């Protein structure tokens, strides 16, 4: 009886927290679907705002998707080997590198963006391309990739596993492909999930880095809120959700850890 009471209490608390998080989202989405937000839901439901957003901001959506995928590719190529090296070589240098990697996360995005503009702003071709924003996003998201892969690599006895593979004749590349990568799969997937989500939603830095031709989804969202009707802004939020939810769900499904079964000692 006592346990049941505790369970109900926990359930209630969880539901309250969920409601706290989800209700604003639902309200915002509803606002994007009502004819007139100030009149309320009685004014009727419409897709007009969504269509308006699609027509006006389609490009920001495609840019954001492209940007986050490019960001993912770059962080994978840079981050996974970096995590591997950090996991393998525990020296003062690698530990210092590990600490340095959190810098872009700790420093406000605006500051990083400013530094990028000061450094590369004069390269006009680069300044106006989406590559400029990509650099910012990579700086910001790389630590998340490295950390999440490193966490998995540190939890397994990588050195001995590699020695085992080497004793069976596997050189460096086969080892990396067959042993290292598969065993940090969950870290790579978790890192990818973070990188794509963070890149999609990044606003601080992107707001400073963008040009009228390189507007990302969150920047467009700010635009819409600032200059258009609240319904359009809300419809934009809805579109943003529709974009990012399937992605999140897909990555989440991949990242699911395999269940580990315990097997008692069998004497033969």
Partner 1 sequence: MTTQAGKPLAIALENCAKTFPDGTRALEPLDFAIHAGETVVFLGPSGCGKTTTLRIIAGLEEPDAGGRVLFDGEDVTRLPIEQRNVGMVFQSYALFPNMTVAGNIGYGLRIRGTQEAALKARVGEMLDMMQIARLADRRIDQLSGGQRQRVALARALAVRPRALLLDEPLTALDAKLRDTLRLDIDSLLRSLGITAIYVTHDQAEAMALGDRIVVMEHGRVAQIGEPREIYQRPATRFVAEFIGTMNRLTGSAKNGVFSCKAGNLPWAEAPANATEILFRPEDIRVAESHEETGLQGTVAAAFFLGDRTRLFVEVGEARPLVIESTARRAFRHGETVRLAIDPRGLVVL
Applying CB under 8 A, the residues found at the interface with partner 1 are 156-157, 160-161, 163-171, 174, 178-179, 182-183, 185, 258, 260-261, 263-268
Min. distance of Cβ 89 from partner 1 in angstroms? 12
Nearer to partner 1, 20 or 262 (CB): 262
Min. distance of Cβ 195 from partner 1 in angstroms? 23
Nearer to partner 1, 169 or 212 (CB): 169
CA distance 130 to 66: 10
Longest dimension (CA), the chain: 77
Min. distance of Cβ 258 from partner 1 in angstroms? 8
Min. distance of Cβ 253 from partner 1 in angstroms? 19
Nearer to partner 1, 55 or 167 (CB): 167
Cβ–Cβ under 8 Å, residues 59 and 128? no
Min. distance of Cβ 172 from partner 1 in angstroms? 9
Task: For residue 112, count other CB atoms closer than 10 A to its CB.
Answer: 21
Q: Could you tell me which residues come within 8 angstroms of residue 232 by beta carbon, excluding any fewer than 6 positions away?
A: 32, 49, 52, 53, 224
| DSSP assignment of 166-220 | HHTT--HHHHIIIIIHHHTHHHHHHHHHHHHHHHHH--HHHHHH--TTS--HHHH
Nearer to partner 1, 176 or 207 (CB): 176
Cβ–Cβ under 8 Å, residues 37 and 231? yes
Min. distance of Cβ 171 from partner 1 in angstroms? 5
Residue given tokens 């004014």 in the structure block: 43
Q: How far is CA 79 from CA 3, 133, 187, 226, in A?
A: 46, 18, 11, 37
Nearer to partner 1, 170 or 248 (CB): 170
Min. distance of Cβ 77 from partner 1 in angstroms? 22
CA distance 63 to 200: 10
Nearer to partner 1, 42 or 268 (CB): 268
CA distance 65 to 186: 23
Nearer to partner 1, 23 or 168 (CB): 168
Min. distance of Cβ 185 from partner 1 in angstroms? 8
Residue 45: enclosing H or E segment and its boundaries?
Answer: strand 40-45
Nearer to partner 1, 156 or 251 (CB): 156
* Selection from 90, 109, 106 nearest residue 150 by Cα: 90
CA distance 36 to 143: 43
């Amino acid at each position: 009886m006592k346990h049941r009471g505790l369970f109900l209490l926990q359930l209630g608390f969880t539901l309250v927290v969920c409601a706290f998080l989800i209700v604003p989202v639902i309200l915002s989405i509803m606002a994007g679907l009502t004819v007139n937000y100030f009149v309320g839901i009685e004014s009727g439901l419409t897709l007009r705002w969504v269509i308006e957003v699609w027509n006006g901001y389609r490009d920001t959506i495609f840019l954001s998707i492209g940007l986050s995928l490019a960001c993912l590719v770059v962080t994978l190529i840079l981050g996974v080997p970096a995590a591997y090296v950090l996991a393998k070589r525990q020296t003062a240098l690698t530990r210092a590198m590990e600490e340095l990697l959190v810098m872009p996360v700790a420093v406000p995005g605006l500051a990083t963006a400013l530094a990028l503009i000061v450094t590369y702003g004069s390269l006009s071709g680069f300044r106006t391309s989406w590559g400029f924003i990509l650099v910012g996003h990579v700086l910001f998201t790389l630590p998340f990739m490295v950390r999440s892969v490193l966490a998995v690599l540190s939890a397994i006895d990588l050195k001995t596993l590699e020695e085992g593979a080497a004793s069976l004749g596997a050189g460096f590349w086969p080892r990396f492909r067959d042993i290292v990568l598969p065993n940090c799969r969950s870290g790579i997937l978790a890192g990818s999930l973070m990188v794509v989500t963070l890149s999609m939603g990044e606003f601080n830095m992107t707001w400073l880095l963008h040009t009228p031709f390189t507007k990302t989804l969150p920047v467009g969202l700010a635009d819409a809120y600032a200059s258009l009707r609240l319904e359009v802004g809300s419809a934009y939020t809805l579109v943003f959700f529709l974009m990012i939810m399937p992605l999140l769900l897909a990555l989440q499904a991949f990242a699911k850890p395999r269940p580990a079964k315990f097997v008692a000692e069998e004497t033969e």
